[in-house]
Structure 1
Amino acid sequence: MTREAIFERISELIKVQMHREDLEITPETSLQDDLGADSIELMEFVISVEDEFGIEITDQAIDHMKNMGDMLDYVVQRVN
């Protein structure tokens, strides 16, 4: 799966999670600052990503993710 395809799928998951199909997601997008996701929404999103890609995202890894680019890097490393 290409990096671009993974990013597109993650972006779609966020849009569905946030009930906002109009969101413009970039690698610099911060889930908490730009999207206003609370801790429950963030955890639901992480679970969706784990289920979609068949990976586990540790709490430590989540703590180090500042933006969508960090999430993308993590997923790409585990999927490919």
Structure 2
Amino acid sequence: MAYTDDEILAGLAEIINEETGLETDAVQLDKTFTDDLDIDSLSMMTIAVTAEEKFGVKIPDEEVKNLVTVNDAVTYIKNAQS
């Protein structure tokens, strides 16, 4: 099943909420993980692994560091679906 951008954003918001306690409303496409959402690299890896399971995609460790904004992650997950 292919997820829409909105579904991916909502799913990421839930994952980030579970990992960090951040409100889901705070997770918006233009937000950066480190500066705006204050997510460290360890939490980011956990979020990536959970997103892989939720969306059925593979996010290699070396790609995680390239996911700077929430939009980067949504786009990566959308393109990784097939």
Give the TM-score taking structure 2 as reference length. Answer: 0.84
User: Matched residue pairs, number?
Assistant: 80
Residue 20 in structure 1 maps to residue 26 in structure 2: no
* Mapped partners of 1:17, 1:57: distance in 2: 18
Alignment of 1:1-40 (within 5 A): 1-21=3-23, 23-40=25-42
What are the ranges of 5 or more consecutive residues in structure 2 without an aligned counterpart? none
- Are the counterparts in 2 of residues 32 and 38 from structure 1 also a CA contact under 8 Å? yes
What are the ranges of 5 or more consecutive residues in structure 1 without an aligned counterpart? none
In the alignment, which residue of structure 2 is the partner of 1:69? 71
- Are the counterparts in 1 of residues 16 and 24 from structure 2 also a CA contact under 8 Å? no
What RMSD, in angstroms, separates the aligned Cα atoms of the two structures? 1.6
* Mapped partners of 2:36, 2:57: distance in 1: 25
Identity %: 22
* Mapped partners of 1:15, 1:34: distance in 2: 14
Which of 42, 45, 48 is matched with 1:46 structurally?
48
